[in-house]
Amino acid sequence: MIQYPITLNGTQVRVLEAGTGNRHMIFIHGVGARADRWKNNLEELAVEGFHTYAIDLPGHGFSEKNASIPCTVPEYAALVHSLISQFEEGDVYLVGTSLGGHIAATVTCENPNLIKGLALVGTVGITEIGLERRKRTQDLVGKTSWEAIGQKLHAVLHDDALVTESLQKEEHYINNSKGAAEAFEKVSSYFGNDLDTDVVGNRLKDLVDVIPTVIVWGRQDIGFPLELGESAHQLLDGSHFAIIDNAGHAPYFEKPDAFNQIITQFFANQLGHEPIQGVEIVGN
């Protein structure tokens, strides 16, 4: 796996990349996270034949951070489209978690001819999540003290053992780097006040028949509980729904083997043909 900076729509972002070929798979993280969260997925899915990429969204990780960064879902979607436009040929698959799922869904709605498959993980943006959840997330993202970083990690991960001192230290340094406070203030304000104005579920539901879509959820997700996944699955009639046991809001990070099997099987049109330990497949 390699990493490098790239300028997309005038903003510098960091890219992690693994694999080769023309089956491009882009991973998009959620608010307050970064590309490294996909570290247990990029190389493993590259082995399965995908050319994988994960980006740090502006304001996150090692990408550009300041008070003027693009931070709305439409702006982030335009940035992802800019990355896609650099591929000379091939198929594009999008995997997005939480806010990243909202971004991936928006890219799909705006460029349905470019996207061959979509995976939405603990996603927002399909149905409204409501003021209470928006404000709770806004409050968490905007706080970057050592204690607040630990609180956020414990809220995202079901297995407390995964919240190691080294992970918390790394998150603390990155989220307190130059420009991070200004960037997080802007990003969290958008999430808390305007996120639900950009929901795309009613647009996406008309595309599910032609763009294979799977919804993946951690059964123990406390911030965005399973009922939100069930609502998204119901609205996106024809989508697949995979529930991972003993996982919270980041099942791809907590249970990477199960998650990678879901993605591999789904994009081979084989989801449910072989059982995956700790995973329930619902409906289509």
Strands 11-18 and 2-8, bridge-based pairing: antiparallel
- Among residues of the chain, what percentage have pLDDT more than 90? 86
- The mean per-residue pLDDT over the stretch 227-238 comes to 95
Spatial CB neighbours of 47, under 8 Å, sequence gap ≥ 6: 19
What pLDDT score was predicted for residue 143? 86
What pLDDT score was predicted for residue 272? 81
- The mean per-residue pLDDT over the stretch 81-101 comes to 94
pLDDT digits (tens, 9 = 90+) for 126-165: 999 888 888 888 887 878 899 999 999 999 999 999 999 9
In the structure, what pLDDT confidence band is assigned to residue 9 with cuts at 50, 70 and 90? very high
- The mean per-residue pLDDT over the stretch 18-42 comes to 96
Structure tokens at 107: 């890219």
Q: What is the mean pLDDT of the chain?
A: 94
At which residue do the structure tokens 């349905």 appear?
112
Instruction: Tell me: pLDDT of 283 over 80.
Output: no
pLDDT digits (tens, 9 = 90+) for 155-205: 999 999 999 999 999 999 999 999 999 998 999 899 889 999 999 999 999
What pLDDT score was predicted for residue 202? 95
Instruction: Tell me: pLDDT of 58 over 90.
Output: yes
Which domains are delineated in the chain?
2-130+198-282 (3.40.50.1820)
Instruction: Tell me: pLDDT of 82 over 80.
Output: yes
152 and 36 in contact (C-beta within 8 Å)?
A: no
In the structure, what pLDDT confidence band is assigned to residue 65 with cuts at 50, 70 and 90? very high
Instruction: Tell me: pLDDT of 67 over 80.
Output: yes
- The mean per-residue pLDDT over the stretch 235-259 comes to 97
At which residue do the structure tokens 């490098």 appear?
4
Reported pTM: 0.96
What pLDDT score was predicted for residue 36? 95
Spatial CB neighbours of 250, under 8 Å, sequence gap ≥ 6: 33, 37, 97, 122, 156, 157, 218
216 and 244 in contact (C-beta within 8 Å)?
A: yes
Structure tokens at 1: 């796996």
Instruction: Tell me: pLDDT of 284 over 70.
Output: no
Distance CA 41, CA 44 (A): 5
Distance CA 127, CA 200 (A): 8
In the structure, what pLDDT confidence band is assigned to residue 77 with cuts at 50, 70 and 90? very high
